[in-house]
Amino acid sequence: MGGSVMAVTINGTTGISLVQDGTINSAKLVADSVTSAKLADGSITTHKIADSTEVLLDATYTNGDATVTVSSTSSLSVGMNIKMSFKSRNVSSGNIIPKVGLKIASITNSTTFEMSAAAGQSGTDIPTQFTTGVTTDKLAEHVITNTKADPIDVQLAPYWVNLEYSQNGNTGHTYITNYGTKISASNGNNGPSAIAKVQGSSGHGDFLIRWVPGYFWGFSGIRVGDMAGSPHIGQPGAGSTQSNPAGFIYYQFLNNSSNNVRYITKWDGSSATTLQNASGGTNNVEWSMWRINGLTKVNDGTTTTTLQSSGDTRDYYFSNNGQGPQSCELKEAYRLTRGGA
């Protein structure tokens, strides 16, 4: 049928059940013709999103020109995201391409294509990454939280990060020493102090953390929370610790001289239980917490307490207790390969 048909309404019950001949490609849809109102919520499922692909090629750029030359364009396609590869060599000044937003606008021939913007510097055989699928350009800054990050980037490690002041702490005091492994405050009872988080988190598998709590008037030691209950922990506005979140586990492994006790509590998501309140605080003694094959325990230098007898896969974060005077020195902290211990 020749000519064109305008403003056709397809019966709302029948709809279009099949496009018989070929597919509807982007060329058949005018720009912006499919609006969000025309797609039902949840109608695009994960398996309908194309898998990401990645191609690494050496590319040659010319300052002020959008044309790029590569050995072959056969593996490239229009719309691919373009980034400098992490292997890229440096140039003396300026950026060859912007960090975000650059794409392949068109493919000219077997060795050249056009970018969506001109190069800012010239460069020959620059390692360049071309990607499809959901690229970083589609993600806002800082939306990747700890639980969504690459495990390598959130490995548990024995040093303090994300310091925040407590009890009127301020810059007039030094809280972190020993190359980042010790946090302490000695400024009177409930005097200026600080809280910090141990680098990384336990992950869902096996782990071990050892520390030496202080022996002062205030309670020293480790507090442990479930990352699932506090996914933005450590980010601006979220703080280094969130006590007793509703619906999520939270532990305290503490010690002091004034009560002279080893004090271990568990918040199960709705109520708190004292697991240990034993006379005799510890002075310069290592405590430890570990999980092997889903069995999680803590040792207070004298007694081992089982925190969960099986099936524990929580991704835990660790912080110190900020009640001064206090101290907590990290001795070691690491994730273990399941079955590796």
Contact between 202 and other proteins per CB under 8 A: no
Q: Which is nearer to other proteins, 96 or 261 (CB)?
A: 261
CB of 91 to other proteins, least distance (A): 49
22 φ/ψ sector (left φ>0, alpha ψ -120 to 50, else beta): left
Q: Which two tokens stand for residue 198?
A: 């141990």
Q: Which residues contact 105 (CB under 8 A, 6 or more apart)?
A: 66, 78, 113, 114, 115, 116
φ, ψ of residue 137 to 5 degrees: the values are -60, -20
Residues touching other proteins, count (CB under 8 A): 26
Q: Which residues contact 5 (CB under 8 A, 6 or more apart)?
A: none
CB of 233 to other proteins, least distance (A): 16
Contact between 177 and other proteins per CB under 8 A: no
Contact between 172 and other proteins per CB under 8 A: yes
Least Cα distance to 57 among 39, 43, 77, 36 occurs for 77
Q: Which is nearer to other proteins, 167 or 199 (CB)?
A: 167
Contact between 250 and other proteins per CB under 8 A: no
- What is the identity of the amino acid at 96? I
Contact between 277 and other proteins per CB under 8 A: yes
Q: Which stretch binds other proteins (CB under 8 A): 54-62, 79-87, 111-119, 260-268?
A: 260-268
- Mapped onto helix, strand or coil, the DSSP state of residue 145 is coil
CB 334 within 8 A of CB 205: no
Cα distance between residue 65 and residue 114, in whole Å: 9
Candidate residues 79, 101, 151, 188; the one interacting with other proteins per rule CB under 8 A = 188
Q: Which two tokens stand for residue 171?
A: 């810059």
Candidate residues 258, 302, 303, 304; the one interacting with other proteins per rule CB under 8 A = 258
Cα distance between residue 209 and residue 124, in whole Å: 49
Contact between 275 and other proteins per CB under 8 A: no
- Mapped onto helix, strand or coil, the DSSP state of residue 330 is strand
Contact between 191 and other proteins per CB under 8 A: yes
Q: Which is nearer to other proteins, 169 or 200 (CB)?
A: 169
Respond yes or no on whether the N-terminal peptide bond of residue 325 is cis (omega within 30° of 0): yes
Taking residues 279 to 318 in sequence order and writing x for each that binds other proteins by CB under 8 A, - otherwise, the string is ----------------------------------------
CB of 146 to other proteins, least distance (A): 23
Q: Which is nearer to other proteins, 258 or 304 (CB)?
A: 258
Candidate residues 243, 302, 306, 313; the one interacting with other proteins per rule CB under 8 A = 243
Cα distance between residue 329 and residue 324, in whole Å: 15
CB 85 within 8 A of CB 55: no
Contact between 186 and other proteins per CB under 8 A: yes
Binding region for other proteins (CB under 8 A): 167-168, 172, 186-192, 217-219, 243, 254, 256, 258-259, 261, 263, 265, 274, 277, 323-325
